[in-house]
Structure 1
Amino acid sequence: MTGNLMMLLVIKADSHLHTPMYFFLSHLSFLDICFSSVTVPKLLENLLSQKKTISVKGCLTQVFFLFMSGATEVCLLAVMAYDRFAAICHPLLYGQMMSNLLCKGLVCGSWSLGLLATLLSILPAMSLDFCGDYTIHHYSCDLPSFFALSCSDISNSFIVLLCTSLLYGIGTCFLIFYSYAHIVSTILNISSSSGRSKAFSTCSSHLTTVLLLYGSAFLRYLMPVSGSPLELIFSVQYSVVTPLVNPFIYSLKNKEVKAAVKRTLREISPLFANHIQRMLDK
């Protein structure tokens, strides 16, 4: 929470970061806050209490917001890949290609597609029946574990979930792969090694985030529901670890963000010092 809130504050406060790349990054940080807020509080409650229960409605609510955050984030990562494609492959036209109107439209489109994918997957699950008390061998609710507890016919719900997941997963993966195929081709044609290194460094943070999220999420949903330790590890990685490390990935590897953090702290420090002094004077 602290890392992602810091990214939001720094991007908002520093005018040097008012660019399309950091506009998308601010939305990624907000999505990571949503991701963590959906799963971590209930996870901590379960770890600290003897009674570890959740109602069907509570489980569905958690699934809804988890799926919503995840589906929106994969769309946003595809948008960020297009932004890097425009910046590296068409630097002279970057301002025209990534106008403010287009950036806002791409973000709104990501949220809309995320909501659509969530509704398509969740609505069939809301009609399922449950015949008694069951145990979810998991740290949080998700649709594969939820389906395993139902005594209704889940074939239609499962097909809808599978089609939606494949459409969004493969679709966004294709857009990211297509963008980076052009990016790599352009970078290899750069004559200077320093230019190639600088171009690669602008993409490394995004690629790291993509690999962390897609790798763990795909492995989690491709594995059968068994409650195995490996399944739990992958689940925690995409729902807890990835939102945790994203601010560090984008701040530690990014000189612009580190410089903006220093400028923001320098601006905040005098205000904080003056406030403390006024309190002491009173």
Structure 2
Amino acid sequence: MNPMQIVQAHRDHVFYSWVTQNSVNNPIVMDRAEGVYFWDKSGKRYLDFSSQYVNMNIGHGHPKVIAAIKDQSDKLAFAHPGMATEIRAEAATQLAKMAPGDMSKVFFTLGGAEAVENAIKIAKMVTGRQKIVTRYRSYHGASFGAATAGGDPRRLAHDPGIPGIIRVHDPYAYRCPFGYAPKGNPQVYIDHVIQTIEFEGPENVAAILMESITGFNGVIIPPDGYWQALREYADKHGILLICDEVLTGFGRTGKMFAIEHYGVVPDIMAMAKGLSCGYVP
């Protein structure tokens, strides 16, 4: 197929995410990729600044990864979750070693949104509570529950979404929602989250679910003391702490996971993207 045929086939048969379908004009026809570059069908080379939406942490076409995928596919391509396999055992063991603190169990999913969905389900089942505290500027995925948990305005078309989501403001110094821009006020941000939970009843809150560092909606880095205070408050009231590391995990911030900058160990971490770097789901 030539580039025009490929684009037309996409218009005719592919649903694009996060856009109205009639607004799809002329997307780049990506043909191949290697390292930090990809090429279109005409041979034009592009520097992949977005890393395919913060996905290809190790770059495109890594020969060791491709060889490992091929070798595993030749040996065993699929086993249902009830089976035990060497490769799953190795992956879970390595993830447990990488994870902060005493985190030691892995539930495998197919992507970040599904990881968040299951984190919410686990938190509600473990605590017997129904409310989840999230942030207005968070992005947790595009599935029904994950979109509800996020603050992205594109969720509004699907409101009211899943029940029990309580949102708070981000610790955003530059555009401070409490009038302290541009320096911000860390204690006010902490008090805001705690006060919101107090109004909702901490005995009703299953979890605090937040990106360790807010990603797509501003790269908002929490001040020192923020995560530590939330951890302390959550422990006091039996609330689970869920860190969404889908964007920030696997070296994106200089540590394996962004939450490690704060010396805090969450109860649950959601991860994807850099976990497989897009080579497999």
Do they superpose with TM above 0.5?
Answer: no
Could you say which structure has the greater relative contact order, defined with CA pairs below 8 angstroms and 6 or more residues apart?
Answer: 1
Please state which band the TM-score falls in when normalised by the shorter chain: under 0.3
- TM-score with structure 1 length normalisation? 0.21
More strand by share: 2
More helix by share: 1
